[in-house]
């Protein structure tokens, strides 16, 4: 049944409240949960539901996203027929990128939709952390004769849509006449001629659209109930595979209530934190309530609390960084943090 579905991921979102983490990447490529990127959740949900043709529509700074997705092999989408497609924009104006599913962006690749044989199209954003079952959604859509079905969680719209491919093509082609720039516009227009339905999703679903939400949702994963609700054995979340050795916990180290990816070297103390691949933590260092991204190096006798370190950050020995859950300290990719600068940052956070 799900061979009727075409997958489309809108990876063009650019949340202002996330800019500190989006200087070198789109939100779709934002590292999450130690070894994943945000796009992995929408993409894995589609693949686990039997969708074999997925198109990704990014915007700017998409090199890291291309590197992550590659040929689609890790999602079984490197196929001769259908598979993974990547469509960067060419001449789309900035003000056309409003809402989920930019019709002007889709119009540049209209031939892709014409060639698709799937009767229905699922359009998803790239920043919703969800591991859903699309079969029930399609059943509901067909049962009630809906034109467009949108996914909701606890009454909140998740900007994930299901509609016939022919209707999507019609909306793209007639965007100048209707004034609709995206699927959000269609749903928000109460005078729209289309029948819209709500699909209330029962599982775990959260949207990352700010530093605060990114930090909170990441910390929620340390709750085993939340983790097992999102990461299901029968419906895994796929990501780019990297061959690295297991993490090494040296004598005297301590790790409590934390997620650690492979390739880490831990000599200090880690508590209630998420540590990505290849991170080095020095002796007597203390990491609490923090998110440490790939290949960051934390020196000896450092104290980090409520901190988000982007990739490849080097924290010099003796540095103290103390933020708060409401206002975590964010250190940009590739930064070198000296003890004197760190004390000023800690005071500002307080």
- Domain match, 226 and 264 both: no
Give the torsion sign (CA, 216, 228, 35, 63).
negative
Residue 29 located in a structural domain:
yes
Looking at residue 279, its pLDDT comes to 98
What local confidence, expressed as pLDDT, does residue 195 receive? 96
CATH code for the domain in which residue 344 is found = 2.160.10.10
Same domain flag for 293 and 206: no
Residue 32 CB neighbour total at 10 angstroms: 25
Per the domain annotation, does 240 fall within a domain?
A: no
- For residue 93, the model assigns a pLDDT of 81
Q: Which two tokens stand for residue 147?
A: 């034109």
Residues of the chain by 3-state class (helix, strand, coil), percent to 5: 30, 25, 45
Pair (30, 124) in one structural domain: yes
My answer on whether 136 and 216 are in the same domain is: yes
Q: Which residues pair with 129 in a beta bridge?
A: 206
Contact 264, 278 (CB under 8 A): yes
Task: CATH number of the domain at 190, please.
Answer: 3.90.550.10
Domain that holds residue 193: 2-230
CA distance 350 to 8: 43
Q: Closest Cα to residue 161, out of 193, 134, 143?
A: 134
Residues 51 and 83 in one domain: yes
Cβ neighbours around 37 below 10 Å, total: 23
Alpha-helical regions (H) of the chain:
39-48, 63-69, 103-107, 110-115, 134-143, 165-173, 175-178, 183-188, 211-220, 224-230, 339-349
Q: What pLDDT does 127 receive?
A: 97
Rounded to two decimals, the pTM is: 0.94
Total structural domains in the chain? 2
Per-residue tens of pLDDT for the chain, all 350 residues: 456 899 999 999 988 899 999 998 999 999 999 999 999 999 999 999 999 999 999 998 899 999 999 999 999 999 988 999 999 988 888 777 888 999 999 999 999 999 999 999 999 999 999 998 788 899 999 999 999 999 999 999 999 999 999 999 999 999 999 999 999 999 999 999 999 999 999 999 999 999 999 999 999 999 999 999 999 999 999 999 988 899 999 999 999 999 999 999 999 999 999 999 999 999 999 999 999 999 999 999 999 999 999 999 999 999 999 999 999 999 999 999 998 655 556 545 55
Question: Is residue 219 domain-shared with residue 258, that is, in the same domain?
Answer: no
Task: Give first-to-last CA distance, the chain, whole Å.
Answer: 55
pLDDT of residue 1: 47
């Amino acid at each position: 049944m799900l061979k009727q579905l075409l997958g489309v991921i809108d990876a063009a979102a650019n949340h202002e409240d996330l800019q500190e983490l989006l200087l070198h990447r789109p939100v779709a490529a934002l590292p999450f949960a130690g070894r994943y990127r945000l796009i992995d959740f929408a993409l894995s949900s589609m693949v686990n539901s039997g969708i074999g043709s997925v198109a990704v529509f990014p915007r700017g700074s998409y090199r890291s996203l291309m590197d992550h997705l590659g040929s689609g092999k890790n999602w079984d989408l490197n196929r001769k027929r259908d598979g993974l497609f990547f469509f960067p924009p060419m001449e789309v104006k900035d003000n056309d990128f409003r809402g989920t599913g930019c019709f002007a962006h889709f119009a540049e690749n209209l031939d892709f939709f014409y060639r698709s044989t799937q009767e229905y199209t699922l359009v998803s954003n790239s920043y919703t952390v969800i591991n859903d079952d699309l079969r029930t959604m399609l059943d509901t859509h067909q049962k009630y004769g809906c034109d467009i079905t949108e996914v909701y969680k606890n009454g909140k719209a998740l900007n994930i849509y299901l509609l016939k491919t022919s209707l999507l093509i019609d909306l793209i082609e007639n965007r100048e006449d209707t004034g609709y720039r995206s699927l959000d516009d269609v749903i928000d227009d109460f005078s729209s001629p289309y029948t819209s339905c709500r699909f209330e999703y029962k599982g775990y679903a959260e949207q990352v659209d700010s530093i605060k939400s990114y930090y909170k949702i990441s910390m929620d994963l340390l709750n085993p109930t939340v983790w097992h609700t999102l990461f299901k054995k029968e419906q895994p979340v796929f990501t780019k595979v990297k061959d690295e050795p297991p993490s090494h916990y040296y004598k005297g180290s301590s790790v409590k209530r934390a997620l650690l990816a492979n390739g880490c070297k831990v000599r200090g103390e880690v508590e209630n934190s998420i540590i990505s691949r290849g991170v080095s933590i020095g002796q007597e260092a203390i990491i609490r309530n923090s998110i440490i991204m790939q290949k960051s190096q934390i020196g000896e006798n450092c104290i980090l609390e409520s901190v988000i370190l982007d990739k490849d950050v080097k924290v010099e020995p003796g540095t103290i960084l103390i933020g708060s859950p409401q206002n975590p300290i964010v250190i940009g990719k590739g930064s070198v943090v000296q003890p004197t600068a760190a004390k000023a940052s800690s005071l500002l956070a307080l």
